[in-house]
């Protein structure tokens, strides 16, 4: 079995389906005199949804294929046949996915739990057929609406791993060795700095009633909160951990070499970096564990500073069960005291009404979802459709707004991508 690459950050382009166009048609059966319009409506374009799925562990699927498309609606037909709606595009993402706008950095959604979903791009509305425009004054409408374009946007996806215990420590402190001993995780283990380049998750099971998820976070160094080493790339994975396990290397000492860092100094630096990155991380329950006890003659000096500190040797197994038990107790207390974190989705209702602004001496731009949709959906090349657009614009109060803004005969009025000549 090949080892898949863990990808925790990617860009994603989503595009919803376009709406189908309405149909212009009239009944033409022989026995029916003056049959009237029977053009059907176009189908709604498909939406694009992001859905949190516990079966998805990485964003690898989007690294080389960042584009996702929903299908468009089918055009309407005669005999009142409405077009079929486009199929939604359902995109499965890992639990703990943070969605932001690629260009503005604005947070759009946080999908924490399995089943959380967010509408990433809405499908375009289908155009109405000419049968919908039948009225007492308009007995034979010869126009229909075009389909509305679906939304399109670029997103940035980031994973915030959800683990009960996060192993935090310097490079080569023994985090990967520990998680490989207490769980079935098989991280890469080697005797050089930054061997771990991606987080590893393992399930630690003590008995039938006690188990928790442990995360092996790549090593941190002094200045990590400022981006040094692997920096922010992996500090964010610590944010959602319930308990922090501060793992320090007992075999390192300031007297051993110029690069040596004592266990007490390791703990101080790690907590300082966590506090600089997210001050609230210092309020999390934490267990301090000294590793590589088999390489140290006397471990009591380390424990003298704090009797709650634990000492282990992942190689010989000494103290491992006691340390895991302490982590399990901290996790149990944290679980009892916390509430289920709900996914966050930002909802922005479309603004109502219209707005007029002068863009040049003799040019005005009219903005507003309703008025822009009237122009975008209708065929401006036919006289009848243009008359309907003029009627709808007047009903929306646009002419009054233009008059108040100082528009004069002959001025150019922009609505969406189209321009018109203003007549008072």
Higher pLDDT, 342 or 317: 317
Q: For 59-186, where are the E strands, in sequence order?
A: 67-69, 89-93, 97-101, 107-111, 117-121, 152-159, 165-169
Dihedral angle sign, alpha carbons of residues 309, 315, 317, 320: positive
Q: Which domains does the chain have, with CATH numbers?
A: 1-160 (2.70.210.12), 165-337 (3.40.50.300), 355-421 (3.30.300.350)
Among 300, 296, 192, 199, CA closest to 240: 199
Instruction: Encode burial over 262-282: b for 16+ CB neighbours within 10 A, e otherwise.
Output: bbeebbebbbebbeebeeebe
DSSP sequence for 203-262: EEEEETTEEEEEEEPPP--TTGGGT-TTTHHHHGGGTT-SEEEEEEETT--TTT-TT---
Whole-number Å distance between alpha carbons of 393 and 375: 9
Whole-number Å distance between alpha carbons of 248 and 251: 9
Alpha-carbon distances, residue 98 vs 74, 121, 243 (angstroms): 34, 16, 21
pLDDT tens sequence across 383-410: 888 888 888 888 888 888 888 888 888 8
pLDDT tens sequence across 199-251: 677 778 777 777 778 888 776 655 544 544 444 556 777 877 889 999 988 88
User: What pLDDT does residue 203 have?
Assistant: 74
State in Å, rounded, how far the first CA of the chain is from the last one: 74
Alpha-carbon distances, residue 200 vs 6, 60, 343, 384 (angstroms): 9, 15, 24, 65
User: What pLDDT does residue 204 have?
Assistant: 80
Whole-number Å distance between alpha carbons of 252 and 239: 28
Residues 330/336, Cβ–Cβ less than 8 Å: no
Residue 49 in this model has a pLDDT that exceeds 90: yes
pLDDT tens sequence across 50-62: 998 877 777 878 8
Residue 86 in this model has a pLDDT that exceeds 90: yes
| Beta bridge partner(s), residue 145 | 378
Whole-number Å distance between alpha carbons of 241 and 327: 12
Whole-number Å distance between alpha carbons of 314 and 68: 45
The pair of structure tokens assigned to 137 is: 């004054």
pLDDT tens sequence across 135-156: 888 888 888 888 889 999 999 9
User: What pLDDT does residue 341 have?
Assistant: 59
The pair of structure tokens assigned to 311 is: 């000492």
Per-residue confidence band for 1, with pLDDT thresholds at 50, 70 and 90: very low
């Amino acid at each position: 079995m090949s080892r898949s690459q863990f990808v925790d950050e990617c860009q994603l382009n989503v595009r919803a389906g376009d709406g189908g166009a309405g149909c212009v048609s009239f009944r033409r059966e022989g026995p029916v005199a003056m049959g009237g319009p029977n053009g059907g409506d176009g189908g709604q374009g498909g939406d694009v949804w992001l859905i949190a799925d516990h079966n998805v562990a990485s964003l690898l699927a989007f690294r080389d294929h960042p584009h996702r498309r929903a299908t468009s609606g089918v055009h309407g037909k005669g005999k009142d046949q409405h077009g079929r709606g486009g199929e939604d595009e359902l995109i499965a993402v890992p639990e703990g996915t943070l969605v932001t706008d690629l260009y503005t950095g604005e947070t759009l959604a946080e999908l924490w739990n399995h089943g959380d979903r967010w509408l990433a791009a809405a499908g375009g509305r289908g155009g109405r057929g000419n049968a919908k425009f039948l009225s007492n004054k308009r007995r034979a409408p010869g126009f229909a609406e075009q389909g509305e374009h679906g939304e399109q946007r670029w997103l940035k996806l980031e994973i915030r791993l959800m683990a009960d215990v996060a192993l935090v420590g310097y490079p080569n402190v023994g985090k990967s060795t520990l998680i490989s001993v207490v769980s079935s995780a098989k991280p890469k283990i080697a005797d050089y700095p930054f061997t771990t380049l991606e987080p590893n998750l393992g399930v630690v099971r003590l008995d039938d009633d006690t188990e928790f998820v442990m995360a092996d976070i790549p090593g941190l160094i002094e200045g990590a909160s400022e981006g040094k080493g692997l920096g922010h790339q992996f500090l964010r994975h610590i944010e959602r951990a319930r308990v922090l396990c501060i793992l320090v290397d007992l075999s390192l000492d300031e007297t051993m070499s110029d690069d040596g860092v004592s266990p007490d100094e390791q703990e101080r630096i790690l907590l300082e970096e966590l506090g600089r990155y997210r001050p609230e991380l210092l309020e999390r329950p934490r267990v301090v564990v000294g590793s590589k006890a088999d390489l140290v003659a006397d471990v009591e000096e380390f424990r003298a500073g704090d009797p709650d500190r634990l000492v282990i040797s992942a190689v010989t197994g000494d103290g491992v069960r006691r340390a895991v038990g302490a982590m399990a107790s901290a996790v149990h207390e944290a679980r009892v005291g916390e509430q289920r974190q709900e996914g966050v989705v930002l909802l922005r209702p479309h603004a109502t009404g219209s707005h007029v602004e002068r863009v040049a001496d003799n040019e005005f731009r009219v903005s507003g979802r309703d008025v822009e949709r009237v122009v975008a959906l209708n065929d401006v090349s036919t006289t009848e459709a243009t008359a309907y657009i003029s009627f709808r614009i007047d009903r929306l109060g646009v002419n009054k707004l233009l008059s108040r803004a100082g528009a004069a005969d002959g001025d150019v009025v922009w609505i969406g991508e189209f321009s018109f000549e203003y007549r008072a």
